[in-house]
Amino acid sequence: MKRLLILLAVASLLMAVTVTPNASADKLGKVEICHVNSASKVPPDGFGGLPYFGTVIRVSRNAVGGHEVHGDSTEYADLTEDLRLMFEDVYYVSLQENADCFFGAQ
């Protein structure tokens, strides 16, 4: 029951977090995306609709489609230290040190 209450609290917090649409390119034609690799998908590939964690990188707007094909996203939220600690506590996972963004499973 306690775990269910914690999961509900996490879900409501995630709904309150502002997702940043970053599809607009800067002056150099670069776009920020939340980049994930298969090792950083915690929990694995959409398990229970839980979020993916990644690192914000800048790529050419021409490369966005290729990144989205393997699971990166231009719509993400920043992973604050408080959120990191909460995710690690609730899901019993250790997030990569360089993880600084997250988004819902696609």
Helix, strand, or coil here: 103? strand
pLDDT digits (tens, 9 = 90+) for 10-24: 555 554 444 555 556
Q: How far apart are CA 96 and CA 45, in angstroms?
A: 16
With residue 31 as reference, give the H or E element that holds it: strand 30-35
pTM above 0.75, yes or no: no
Q: How far apart are CA 81 and CA 61, in angstroms?
A: 29
Strand order in the sheet with 101-103: 20-21, 75-78, 101-103, 52-60, 30-35
pLDDT average, residue stretch 33-61 = 73
